[in-house]
Chain A
Amino acid sequence: MSAITEQKCPHCGGAVEFNIGAQKLKCPYCDTEFDIAAMQQAEDFAANTVEQINWNSQNSQWDAGETDGMSVYACKSCGGEIVADRTTGATSCPYCGNQVVMQGQFSGALKPDLVIPFKLDKKAAKEALKKHFKGKKFVPKAFLSDNKLDEVKGVYVPHWLFSCDAVVNATYQAEKYKHWSDSKNDYTETSAYNVYRSGAIGFDNVPVDGSTKMPDDLMESIEPFNIGEAVPFNTAYLAGYLADKYDVDVNQSMNRANERIKASALDAFEDTVKGYDSVSPLQANMQVANGSYKYALYPVWLLNVKWNGKNHTFAMNGQTGKFVGNIPTEDKKARLIGGLGGLAAGALIYIIINIISSL
């Protein structure tokens, strides 16, 4: 014997009742009728949406003697640890510009699976910085004239790369509207549909920054990197550059990958709900199938610009040249000039109209 459950009206939230005449469920509050099969289907679908995410990895380990030529340096100021081969050495922290000291031989941590080698050099990074400042408005003049390019460092930034098939079960409420009028009233008929979508969509190498010292939004801003040019890691690629060790492990990074994958997967499925005037998600769940992750080093030029005693960090994708970084902006001045300039322009237009109309 099945349990007696109270059914809620999806339109007004009232308790619905079975209407014998119509052989349908009917809401006594808003008179909306429901098909029993449709209601049952909605419930079944809701019950079948348990989120489950699993990831697998086959990370490599360091070979014996592979890290012999690598030293670890620690920043006195921000505490960041960087890795450089002995021929490169390191004198200052690429993140904060302060002095670093060698701590000793590199050891521990996972061996990166992949590395994308630098394609652009320091000169390109410096030119990109100049280009980045060009044409920007409402930047303090003193910043443009007095800023000091303190450090330009090529850093291999650790990233976790997540790949999976996102299995999606989603329910949407979709509505179609029909409008008509007579002499007294305007009418709007709303036809509501329960829309179900199930399926899968694959994602490859979604990157998550594995360094706490590197701001996540800065790294996401210089995406994407072309993973097709990645090669199996070899310490030889570190020559002349610094490398950061991951200090955000894969488990911590998964959440960010899930967020990004889920948002795009659900969007992709919502895009398949067509032919309606409005669509709103009711319930959406994602499970991960065939999830795997890799550990990779991405090439990033970091440029620290000092101005007014503060450090402003700019970053360039060492592979594609995409350059980002927030430039100090005089927001108040911009608002004042925009507002007053617009007021004056409006007044000028008024005067011109008056002069023309009086001719």
Chain B
Amino acid sequence: MTKKIFSILIAVMVCLSMAVFASAYTQLYIYDPDFHLTEDEKYEIDMCGIEIERATGYAVLFGITSQTEISNEEYVESVYANNTDTANGIAVLHNTEEQEYYYYIAGDEKGIFNDDVIDAMITAYNASDSYYGGLMGFYAAAETALEAPPVYNTAPMGGNAITNNSDSYVSESEPIERTLPLVVDAANIIPDDVEKALIARCETMAEEYKMEVAIVTTSDFGGLIAEAYADDFYDFNGYGYGENDDGMLVVYKPGEEGEREIYITTHGNGSGVFFQGIREGIIADMKNHLIAEDYEKAFNTYLDRAEAQLKPGTPIIWLFVLALVGAVVGLLITGSMTAKNKSVIAQNQAKVYTRQGSMNVTDAQDVFAYSFVNTTPKQTSSNSNDDSTHTSSSGRTHNGSGAKF
């Protein structure tokens, strides 16, 4: 009897452990209703999916099917929705009947899954003769993309490649939460310890002055001009403090002489505080440090100037301006006082001795001689542009200044 009870207990424990094991598999990364893979192969692939999600927070799923009952777009979305709750991720569907690929992107707040990345993942999948080999290549490509420096949003968030509701207007009443840090070094030019210090300083400034001052480096504007890139980065990644998204963001693209480009965009109260003269002054002060690749000095100069402008009271530069203007006015006043002491002045005219009514013009001719047109090209924005107010692709209002050097 005791032996029987023991056997039942063992059986229950085995069942429980099976159940626990089974629960570990409630989140499957590979969906294979047509059994192209063995259970061991699925397990291996799931392990890859688990590891990627643990390391990056992104779920990467793959489905292989020949069904045609519902649309491929709905199918791939259901693969993602039925198998994971993870906010950020991708599901790719291989329709073996059509030999076509479909994908669904969820969240993707880091902007990882652009067309190039997805192409690389599918290419890796196709590189092997077996489904298993292809899937291992697919997950390896996904892992590489997710661990590489992210490509940030310069397009509306929340869209996906298939059901792209491309409403590009960012409503002021529906603010986007910022998920990126205040310093994004996508060009990988700022040493890590410097980057950390800059982030800490930016965060302190944001809290103290209720104004987000951000730094972005990039090696590529993704086909946009600097102004559009900076504006979109600001808008679509949720930068700015408070209800009005007050702030300033500098974007810097390193390069050879003549290819370096910098642009400062401002929004909300940031446009009032960091007006054109200040923005241009900041760029002028940063330029030499950027050319010398001393990014610590360059970006600290940017934050110094920003902080000087944000500190309560009038910026110190105005002390010099007011003092200089005062000195000039003072000299003019004392100059006019001393001028009164000198009253001996030669008279070089004889107007006062003109005989009244004697002016007689006997010949007056105005003859057209020639005319010419001078053409001056309007200043372009390549060298130093400023702007007055402009509207970004999101429909929001920005101000900005930039330079290429």
A194 and B369 in contact, given A264-B350, A269-B361 (Cβ under 8 angstroms): yes
Q: Tell me the residues in window 195-227 of chain A with beta carbons closer than 8 Å to chain B beta carbons.
A: 195-206, 215-218, 220-221, 223-224
Contact A189 B373 (CB under 8 A): yes
Please give the distance in Å from A341's CB to the nearest CB on chain B: 5
Give 1 or 0 for each of B346-383: 1 = CB within 8 Å of chain A CB.
11111111110011111111111111111111100000
Chain A residues whose C-beta falls within 8 Å of the C-beta of B318 in the assembled complex: 350, 353
Bound form: Cα–Cα A356–B268 in Å = 24
Name the contact of A139 in the complex, choosing from B341, B355, B372 (C-beta under 8 A).
Answer: B341
Residue of A nearest to B332 (CB): A338
Contact A188 B374 (CB under 8 A): yes
Contact A31 B365 (CB under 8 A): no
Give 1 or 0 for each of A171-209: 1 = CB within 8 Å of chain B CB.
000100000010111111111111111111111111000
B312 within 8 A of A: yes
A268 and B369 in contact, given A181-B378, A200-B360, A335-B331 (Cβ under 8 angstroms): no
Bound form: Cα–Cα A261–B347 in Å = 11
Q: Tell me the interface secondary structure of chain B in the complex.
A: mixed
Contact A338 B353 (CB under 8 A): no
Q: Tell me the interface secondary structure of chain A in the complex.
A: mixed
Name the contact of B312 in the complex, choosing from A138, A203, A345, A358 (C-beta under 8 A).
Answer: A358
Contact B346 A217 (CB under 8 A): yes
Contact A221 B330 (CB under 8 A): no
Chain B residues whose C-beta falls within 8 Å of the C-beta of A76 in the assembled complex: none
Bound form: Cα–Cα A354–B316 in Å = 10
Chain A residues whose C-beta falls within 8 Å of the C-beta of B349 in the assembled complex: 260, 263-264, 267
The size bracket of the interface on B is 35 or more
A205 and B353 in contact, given A138-B337, A347-B326 (Cβ under 8 angstroms): yes
Contact A329 B361 (CB under 8 A): no
Please give the distance in Å from A320's CB to the nearest CB on chain B: 12
B342 within 8 A of A: yes
Residue of A nearest to B346 (CB): A217
Q: List B residues at the A interface (Cβ < 8 Å).
A: 312-314, 318-319, 321-335, 337-338, 340-355, 358-378
10 interchain residue pairs of minimum CB distance = A342-B330, A346-B326, A338-B334, A202-B358, A202-B355, A346-B322, A342-B326, A198-B363, A346-B323, A260-B350
Q: List A residues at the B interface (Cβ < 8 Å).
A: 10-11, 30-35, 37-39, 41-42, 132, 136-139, 165, 174, 181, 183-206, 215-218, 220-221, 223-224, 257, 259-261, 263-264, 267-269, 272-273, 323-329, 331, 334-335, 337-347, 349-350, 353-354, 357-358
A-B contact pairs, 19 of them (CB 8 A): A35-B367, A136-B341, A137-B334, A137-B338, A192-B368, A199-B359, A260-B350, A264-B353, A264-B354, A268-B354, A272-B364, A325-B344, A326-B343, A327-B341, A339-B331, A340-B327, A342-B326, A342-B330, A349-B326
